[in-house]
Chain A
């Protein structure tokens, strides 16, 4: 019996006479007297009924006992139990809605009683309501109380600094230990797309974790090289990234496990070298779900196992003057102090008092508050710092993002000579004293000025880094929101050479320095931020409303880093679509920069928009499209659960029957099974070919190639760097293989492909295919699929191989004709589901019918009495739910049959992101297919129809023609 039921019963019985037993009887002293009141059913302890009957009974006592029983029974009958509402006494058909509220709905004779009851209830209820009443709204909104409340609410999922701004405008989601905006509440899908392609879209990416590594350059590179492989592209050691001029990106693997155990993609930034020192600083930016895998891996690779509680960052730049003594809190644990300051800022506009920030909640959502944030190693001298939530990261996407930046930000002005003289705890006057730094600052400002002459963000080399010191953007906040436009003139004036230099070479190396790298400066800036109130006070004092606040307060200079984000880099069309800038800020300044950026007419996007951004860019989005990474696996499980729950929330008659649509797994993709099955298929075909070759001369050539395959296999086993773990698939990330594959996917003769001349590529034939495959066992290839005609692919749509018949029909009719149809499947589980349900009902009904019997104490068989029966129902319920995993109407039960051969067309893979693409004007999808299957399919297709596949949504029977592209 559930707790609530039990309580209800107890309440009902509380008004009943405690015992019906005539206790004075000497005979019945054993049994039921020690049970308080009536208890239904069989009791395990003390519930035993006496078996042997008494030899004699005394008439008087017997009669007295019965009389007591009758008396109790009468009392029980006359006394109302449970709710004492008057209308409870009325027959059901006479009851009306809201009777207890409006007594006039009752018949006259009951009204008086009801009125009395109501008054009593009101009194009692009023008192009850009084009790937990909250403080007044005014009290609750008072600053301190509000902060407490905010701190309570972000105990589990941390808030970003822009949380309150977002929460007012976005559907928030609790994900990865943060509260993140998913999508705006307004309709702006297209507007956001347009912003990305024509103007600027802003996102708060502060939830990305930053891990800082410090140490000698050689040591760092040696450690980090274990995590990456050159075959997947540039690594941590890429020359330009290492100099600090560009941001780099890499795919990280478990140490030394290259093709098999990937962790995920990271971007990284090296601090530019300081002359005469080989000590380097590196920031690795990773997704929060990746961080929990990456951080232990980094620790083990760098042998950093000793946690440091009090963090004292080593002074990296020897030229740095010692930080002003009063500026940062020197010692205390970073975890204990800084988030408090951040919380205070997270209150944003409500932040009114200038007192010390309340330090309540610690931690950033991805780690417990008391966990150490930095680790060091004696042997390698490397220091790892976890800088999550320490640096605010905003992403501006779109060709006008530089215009937004140049309008919103202003290079910092020198401070006056007067203030330079006296010692201050602020960093900027100190900075101003150093002439070398000031010349650097002036150069950086000049570079920043040349941004104004740029037309599109994509003109700057990808990944360019620019350090800068800017003024507080709140000082020059416009009164109205307006769109920032780049106002360039076609004349190529004096700034042309500089602009050209910027376009060709990017930012010169020395301009990539920024004080943001320095922990002391960061903390100083964060602690000395002017409160919003202070700014408002200055605004009030200004003579002309809306004009710039001057003079600039000393605290209002902030070091920032600007990092260019490359746009679309793969494929041939729309190159550098979605390029933009990332703005890195010290913690606490989030809102101070956010609102001025918003006032420059940008759109704001959430998580959904970043997914669309990467989809249009043709890039894999982190947890979604990395099914071979641990984070990707976790994501898939979550997604399956979510989709299944959503599916189950629909009424059964309105659910899609996926079995009938021939869709085995609509909510997840069994990648492992797919890869294994294709391996099997390929193996069988090889055997068949070998047999054919042995049988006759017809299969000679193929047999040869298979022979080569065997040879290749032997060689690759001998020379192959790694054997893929027996269980497990991997996504192909080897750039050379991808390039090869990409060349094969294009049809050799087609319109618009004239320029394609695969010169130094191996042409697609059995031999080269066979050469590629053994190196990548059970590999999946990441492909872009664009539909030829109608249709919009959905999540987990199937990518299938077209049969020869299909291709012929397509050739006859042209691309306009729709694809083939899948014959509807038969749902042979339907009967089972129904039977299961009936069985459930039966078991549920049984205890209900037996319950009345159970009230009778001398139940002979001691049949399924209440608690037992309740247990039975719950267990049967559990059984039903456990079987419902297998038997939900319309879903295949767990052991799936062969996924490749389930439908009339052989399955190649599935789509992980699919949508109507606004830039291509047709349905486009990104997905993964089995490499073996893809090569196999390409080999079988005629040259002019190479790369054509069929795509089918999980809830449709219609196959659509689509073109597979592998983009490098």
Chain B
């Protein structure tokens, strides 16, 4: 792979997909292709879903989660949710766990966590640099990446 780009978006609610070299070795000439990663497939987003990424400041993401959990908050995102879901993909798993633990610590034990892991299939496009007729088939590959979904919730009384 010629170009280890880190896609992902700053403004879109999705996760960082920095892959730790999870690519299967495909026999291809390293010069001839450009790698383009597509965005990870997204799930429908509720108001209490938080997709953690590596671009946004950690504190900002933490504050956002706290705002969601705090009761009576106005604003666009609302507030006063009984539970939120923190999603992290790839490199952002660490951060998602961090956020969840911080939330729990700052609530003096009122919050509980329930973590789930999953595997997300990601799609890469390989575009040939030399658009020759014979070899110029762009390739598409899939690879898998780990993801975590942490439910942070107040236990029902």
| Chain A interface residues (CB < 8 Å from chain B) | 197, 230, 233-235, 237-240, 242, 455-456, 458-459, 461-462, 488-490, 503-505, 569, 572-577, 735-736, 752, 755-757, 759-760, 919-920, 968
Contact = CB atoms under 8 A, between A and B. Distances in A.
A230 B130 contact: yes
B120 to A, nearest CB: 12
Contacts of B8: 573
Q: Is the interface of B mostly helix, strand, loop or mixed?
A: loop
What band does the interface of chain B fall in when counting residues whose beta carbon is under 8 Å from A?
35 or more
Contacts of B7: 572-573, 575
Interface stretch (B99-107, B109-117, B132-140): B132-140
Contacts of B82: none
A177 B55 CA distance: 46
A455 B132 CA distance: 33
A760 B34 CA distance: 13
B125 A461 contact: yes
B123 A504 contact: yes
30 contacts: A230-B131, A230-B132, A234-B131, A239-B133, A239-B134, A240-B138, A455-B43, A455-B44, A456-B39, A458-B38, A459-B38, A459-B123, A461-B125, A490-B43, A504-B123, A504-B140, A505-B140, A569-B36, A572-B6, A573-B55, A574-B11, A575-B9, A575-B38, A575-B39, A576-B38, A576-B39, A735-B129, A755-B4, A760-B31, A920-B10
B19 to A, nearest CB: 10
A865 to B, nearest CB: 74
Contact of A573 (B10, B130, B137): B10
A240 B41 CA distance: 24
B42 interface: yes
A738 to B, nearest CB: 11
Nearest to B140: A504
B10 A919 contact: yes
A296 to B, nearest CB: 26
A397 B24 CA distance: 34
Given A239-B134, A242-B133, A573-B10, 17 more contacts: A197-B11, A235-B131, A238-B131, A239-B131, A239-B133, A456-B39, A456-B41, A458-B38, A459-B41, A490-B43, A575-B9, A575-B37, A575-B38, A577-B9, A736-B129, A752-B55, A759-B2
Residue among A230, A239, A736, A919 with the highest chain B CB neighbour number at 10 A: A239
B5 interface: yes
A760 B2 contact: yes
Residue among A456, A735, A752, A919 with the highest chain B CB neighbour number at 10 A: A456
B98 interface: no
A505 B141 CA distance: 10
Contacts of A735: 129
A461 B133 contact: no
A503 B6 CA distance: 20
Interface string B14-36: 00001000000000001100101
Nearest to B129: A735
B12 interface: yes
A57 B98 CA distance: 122
B142 interface: yes
Interface in B30-63: 30-31, 34, 36-39, 41-44, 55
Contact of B123 (A242, A503, A757, A919): A503
A814 B12 CA distance: 29
Cβ-closest 10 pairs across A and B: A234-B131, A239-B136, A238-B131, A575-B7, A755-B4, A504-B140, A455-B42, A574-B9, A572-B5, A755-B6
Contact of A233 (B4, B9, B39, B131): B131
Contacts of B37: 575
Residue among A242, A569, A755, A968 with the highest chain B CB neighbour number at 10 A: A755
B131 A919 contact: no
Contacts of B125: 461-462
Contacts of B12: 197, 574
B143 to A, nearest CB: 12
A242 B132 CA distance: 11
A238 B9 contact: no
Contacts of B142: 504
Nearest to A458: B39
B41 A757 contact: no
A490 B87 CA distance: 15
Given A238-B131, A456-B42, A504-B123, A574 B10 contact: yes
Contact of B140 (A233, A456, A461, A569): A461
Nearest to B2: A760
B74 to A, nearest CB: 20
Nearest to A570: B36
Contact of A238 (B38, B44, B123, B136): B136
A760 B3 CA distance: 10
A459 B55 CA distance: 22
Contacts of B30: 760
A454 to B, nearest CB: 9
Nearest to A579: B39
B36 A575 contact: yes
A221 to B, nearest CB: 8
Contact of B11 (A235, A572, A919): A919
Contacts of A752: 55
Contacts of A574: 9-12
A237 B6 contact: no
Contacts of B36: 569, 575
A489 B37 CA distance: 24
Contact of B137 (A237, A239, A489): A239
Nearest to A221: B133
Contacts of A577: 9
Nearest to B44: A488
A574 B142 CA distance: 20
A458 B125 CA distance: 12
A461 B133 CA distance: 19
B18 to A, nearest CB: 7
B137 to A, nearest CB: 6
Contacts of B132: 230
Nearest to A968: B34
Contacts of B6: 572, 755
Contacts of A242: 133
A423 B133 CA distance: 45
A237 B129 CA distance: 14
B86 to A, nearest CB: 17
A406 to B, nearest CB: 16
B9 A234 contact: no
Nearest to A575: B7
B64 to A, nearest CB: 16
A238 B6 CA distance: 27
